[in-house]
Amino acid sequence: MLIATWNINGVKARLDALLAWLDERSPDIACLQEIKSVDENFPRQAIEERGYHVETHGQKGFNGVALLSKMAPTAVDRGLPGDETDEHARYIEGVWETDSGPLRVASLYLPNGNPIDTPKFAYKLAWMERLIAHARAALEREEPLVLAGDYNVIPQRADAAFPDNWLGDALFQPESRAAFRRLMNLGLTDALRASTDADGTYTFWDYQAGAWQKNNGIRIDHLLLSPEAQERLVSVGIDKHVRAWEKPSDHVPVVVELADQP
């Protein structure tokens, strides 16, 4: 089974690229972030024509997450628990019944948090604490769980081409990285780092200053696996070539392959 995450940076603007990638990669479940579309305006028909079921949690103009899957989920939850006043569309979670039992997959878009001297950074850290609490409860189910998405966190210096350039950024603050470690320490596995420790492994290249051409990238898109999912891990890949397509997102898809049985 192939499970992918991709910050699409506007599904309408990148629809051609999304459809081309679905045709090429054929993921079983694709987790999208930053769809920037309300649910009723999501271009679901073109995706459904390719055999995908579509679940969205959107809002106008920014944020928004989606789950595309070859098989319809049996349950879908929208919104990260823990703050009923939070109106940002940043989290959607689905459950799929497989031959070996339930599979739970979430698509998340963690807040950017910049500038760090504003309430945006406090919101980021509070959101991460809510995610930790939710993940802790989810792990108690002892079932395959994949938390996939744009975490807006650079976990280690090796995850940036020029880490010192990010010292003043919310993505690389000690508080952000510490919260990410607390999440990981619940027993989750970073799928990509479980398969490679190579430098130069990035998922995002800014549109400015020739970042893509210079490979001045960062790794902020992650697939975190519960122990039950980790024992099924076969491989992980970054579809880096998608960044060179016409009108690309500044992120690229990351894809994990899980075996059907442990």
Of 95, 117, 120, 113, nearest to 105 (Cα)?
A: 95
In the residue annotation, 16 being an active-site residue is answered as: no
Query: How high is the pLDDT of residue 262?
Result: 80
Q: What percent of the chain shows pLDDT beyond 70?
A: 100
- pLDDT value, residue 224: 98
What global pTM score does this model have?
A: 0.97
pLDDT below 70 — which residues of the chain?
A: none
Active-site annotation holds for 150? yes
CATH code of residue 36: 3.60.10.10
Which structural domain, as residue segments, surrounds residue 71?
A: 2-258
Which of 79, 35, 80, 27 lies closest to 58 in space, CA to CA?
35
How many domains, the chain? 1
Helices (H), ranges, the chain: 15-25, 44-48, 119-139, 174-184, 191-195, 227-230
- Residue 231's pLDDT is 97
What is residue 261's predicted lDDT score, i.e. its pLDDT? 82
251 in a known ligand binding site: yes
pLDDT tens digits, 148-191 = 999 999 999 999 999 999 999 999 999 999 999 999 999 999 99
To the query of whether residue 190 is one of the catalytic residues in this protein, the response is no
Q: What is the pLDDT of residues 33-64, one digit of tens each?
A: 999 999 999 999 999 999 999 999 999 999 99
- Here the tokens at position 68 are 């595309």
Is residue 152 marked as binding? yes
Contacts of 171 (CB under 8 A, 6+ apart): 112, 113, 114, 152, 153, 154, 218, 220
Given the residues 28, 150, 169, 190, the one annotated as active site: 150
